[in-house]
Amino acid sequence: MPYAQVVVDFPQRWADQLFTYEVPEEVGPGRAVLVPFGQRQLRGYVASISLEPPADVVVKPVLEVLGDEQVWPFEMIELASWMCDLYACTLVDAFQAVVPPTVVRRLIKPPKARKRKKGVQGLGESVVRHDLNPAQCSALESMVGPGTVLLEGVTGSGKTEVYLAAVERVLARGQTAIVLVPEVSLTPQAIDRYQGRLGEQVAVLHSRLTDAERTAQWLALRRGQAQLALGTRSAIFAPLENLGLIVIDEEHDSSYKQDSAPRYHARQVAAWRAQRHRCTLVLGSATPCLESFVAARAGRYAHVTMRDRAAQQALPKVELIDLRRHRPRGRDDLSAPLLAAMQTTLEAGQQTVLLYNRRGFARYLQCPDCGKVVHCPHCSISLTVHRRPPELQCHYCGHRQPILDSCRDCGSVSLRECGSGTEKLFEEVQQKLPSARVLRMDRDTTGGATGHADILREFAHGGADVLLGTQMVSKGLDFPSVTLVGVVGADQGLHVPDFRASERVLQMLIQVAGRAGRGQWPGRVLMQARDAENPVFDYARRHDYVGFLEQEMEMRKALLYPPYARLARLIVSGEEEGEVENSARQAAAWVLEKYPRILLLGPSACPLEKIQGNYRWHFLLKGKQVKELAEILRNALRQCKRSSKVRWAADIDPQSIL
Ligand SMILES: [Zn+2]
Ligand SMILES: [Zn+2]
C-alpha cells in the first residue's frame, strides 16, 4: 500500500504540517480523503504519495477516498505550497484558496442530475471590432513569449482592444488565457466586450456568482469547454492548462490583494503561473503602482507606453478649485464654479460624473455641548449618518442603530450632523439642478446581483444626466457623452497614515478624470480641495503620473519603503486589550531575540485600534528578502502561546497598515 502525505483540514497552526496515512493504490496527489485525526474524522487533501513508510510512526489507513477524480491539479498543489512559503499562511488556507470550497464539494459529491452550464449575462450589446492603431499594434507585438510586459496606457488609449487581440491570438494557437479586472470594473459592459468577441470560449468568475454558477464556470474551464477565464482576483487560480497569456488590467488596483488569509496578491500569483507556463504576463494600467514601474525601469519588465487616446481625443483639461476661495454655502458641498460647469453640461445635453468617495448623509454626529462624537460600540471609529433608511452605520463592522436624539453623555438634545457623503450630495444636486436626472452609485445603492449593472445601463442609455458616487464611478466606465467630471473632496485620503496615501489618491484622480471626453466632445475635470497646495494636484493637472512616480521613487528609496525594502506585518487581535498587547509584545520580543539584526517597527496599537469588538496591535518587519521575513513570521506564529483569546494574522507585502 502506498502512503499519502495529507493536509488535514484542522484550522490550528500546530496542525499545519503534512500527516502520513495509508491509501489505496489508485489514489494520487490532489485527491480528497477522510482521515482519522485523534478522536475526530476530518477531511484531508493528498499533497504527495510515497512508497516508503515513515520511520518510527504507526501509520493509519484513510477512512474513505472522497469522490472519484483529482480535485487539485499538480500545478495547484505546487502553487499552494509556494503560497505557504511566501505568505506565511497555513496549507489548509492555501489549498482552499486555489480550488474554491464550493467546487471541492461538487467534485467529491457529484449531484445525481447534471446541471446545465449557466451563462453569465452581460448587457447583450452588439460588439464592434476596431482596427488597432499603430500604438496598439506595437503593444500587441510586445506580448509574445515568456516575460512580463508593463503596458502603461493613458485612460481611453484602448488597452482592452489590445488585450482582446492578444487573447484571440493565443486561443487561435490552441492555448488558454486569464484576464483579471478589478471587482467594480467587471461590469456587464466589460463582460460583453469579451463574450461578444469570443462567445462560448469565455468563462466568467467573480464574487457575485452563486455557488452553482461558480462551480459551472470553473468546471467549464477545467474540462476544456472554455479557454478564457475572465474574472476578479481569485480567477488567477482558474484551472487552465497550457496558458499562453495572463493579463491583469488596472494592475494597481488594491482589490488584487486579498485581505484575509491567505493574504496573497494576484500579481505575484500571476507571475508564478506565467513563469511555470513560460507565457506572457501583461500588467496594464494608466497609473501603474510604483513597484511595477520600478521593475520596468530596472529592465525586469518590458515597458510599453500608449501616450494617446485611441481616437486621438485630447486628454481632459484638469482644473483645481481652491475651496478656501470658493467656499460652498453652509453645509453644501458644491462650489460655484463646479455647479456652473454642471449647469452648462446639462444644457448641452451631455453627462456629468461626480466623485465623492464617502458614503452616507453625514460623516458623524456630534454633541455641541460636550463635544462628544457618537462612536461604533464595537470599533474605534465614528458612526456615519444615513437617511435612506434613517440610521447610524459603522462602515467597518456593519453595525447599525437608530439615530440618537440626545447625547448619551450629557443629555443634550441638540446633536449636530457634521460633514457629508454621497447621500447628501445627491440631495444637493437634485435641489440645485432640479431638471437634472441624477443616479447615485455606492455600496448602498448597488446591493443585489444587478444593482450595479442597472445603474450603469440606465446611465449608458442616457437615462440620467449626472452619475454620482464613491470610487466605484472612477473605474473603467466608458461613456462617450460624459464631458464633465467633478471631484468633491479631492484631498480626502491624502492624510491617512500610510506611505501609499499620495499614490492612491493620485491614481483615483487620474482614473476618474479619464472618464471625461472619451467621445466626440472634449472633456473637463474640476477637482475641489482645501489642501490645494498639495503637489499631487500639480501632477494631476499636468497628467504627469510618471513625474509623480519619479519623485516618489526618491522618497521611498530614502526612507527604505517598498519596493526598496519589503514589509511583513503581524497583527494580533482579540477582545481583551491587555491580552492582545501582551501577546504582541511577547512575539516582538521573541523575534528580536532570535533575529537580533532584523528591523522591527513597533509593536504598537494599530491606527484602527478596535474593529468589531476586537482590539488590534501590530508590528512591522522590514528587510530585503521577503522569504526571510515570511519565515520569521511563520516561526513566530508557531512558537506563540496558543490562546483562544487572541488571533494572529501574518501579512506579507501589506497593502494597508491601518
Ligand atoms: Zn453631550
Ligand atoms: Zn463598528
- Looking up residue 628, the CATH number of its domain turns out to be 3.30.70.600
305 in helix, strand or coil? strand
3-state secondary structure 527-545: EEECCCCCHHHHHHHCCCH
Q: 492 in a domain, yes or no?
A: yes
- Which has more confidence, 447 or 262? 262
All 3 cell numbers of residue 231?
474574472
**Residue 149 C-alpha to ligand 2 middle, in angstroms?**
42
**Residue 378 C-alpha to ligand 2 middle, in angstroms?**
5
- pLDDT value of residue 370: 93
- Taking only the tens place, the pLDDT of each residue in 318-355 is 999 999 999 999 899 999 999 999 999 999 999 999 99
Same domain, 350 and 447: yes
Same domain, 244 and 343: no
Q: 122 in a domain, yes or no?
A: no
The pLDDT-based confidence of 112 (bands split at 50, 70, 90) is: low
- Domain CATH for 520: 3.40.50.300
Q: 411 in a domain, yes or no?
A: no
C-alpha 534/C-alpha 537 separation (Å) is: 6
Same domain, 154 and 300: yes
C-alpha 56/C-alpha 53 separation (Å) is: 9
ipTM over 0.85: yes
Cis peptide before 24 (omega within 30 of 0): no
pLDDT over 90 percentage in the chain: 81
Same domain, 506 and 626: no
Same domain, 181 and 102: no
**Residue 412 C-alpha to ligand 1 middle, in angstroms?**
5
Domain count, the chain: 4
Q: At residue 122, does pLDDT exceed 80? A: no
Q: 129 in a domain, yes or no?
A: no
- Domain of residue 426: give its range: 317-361+420-554
Q: Indicate which ligand has the atom closest to the C-alpha of 372.
A: 1
**Residue 506 C-alpha to ligand 2 middle, in angstroms?**
28
Of the candidates 592, 584, 654, the residue with the CA atom closest to the CA atom of residue 619: 584
Q: At residue 525, does pLDDT exceed 90? A: yes
Same domain, 227 and 278: yes
Same domain, 85 and 201: no
The pLDDT-based confidence of 545 (bands split at 50, 70, 90) is: very high
Same domain, 324 and 436: yes
Q: At residue 115, does pLDDT exceed 60? A: no
Q: 153 in a domain, yes or no?
A: yes
Q: 535 in a domain, yes or no?
A: yes
- Domain CATH for 7: 3.40.1440.60
| 379 and 509 Cβ atoms separated by less than 8 Å | no
C-alpha 355/C-alpha 489 separation (Å) is: 9
Strands 466-469 and 351-355: parallel
Same domain, 185 and 80: no
Same domain, 550 and 607: no
Q: Indicate which ligand has the atom closest to the C-alpha of 383.
A: 2
Q: At residue 198, does pLDDT exceed 80? A: yes
- pLDDT value of residue 116: 47
Same domain, 464 and 538: yes
Same domain, 217 and 84: no
The pLDDT-based confidence of 207 (bands split at 50, 70, 90) is: confident
| Residues having C-beta closer than 5 Å to ion ligand 1 | 367, 369-370, 372, 407, 409-410, 412
All 3 cell numbers of residue 276?
511555470
Q: 373 in a domain, yes or no?
A: no
Which of 554, 584, 605 is a domain's end point?
554
**Residue 10 C-alpha to ligand 2 middle, in angstroms?**
30
- For residue 67, CA distances in Å to 34, 239, 372 come to 11, 18, 59
Which of 520, 554, 588 is a domain's end point?
554
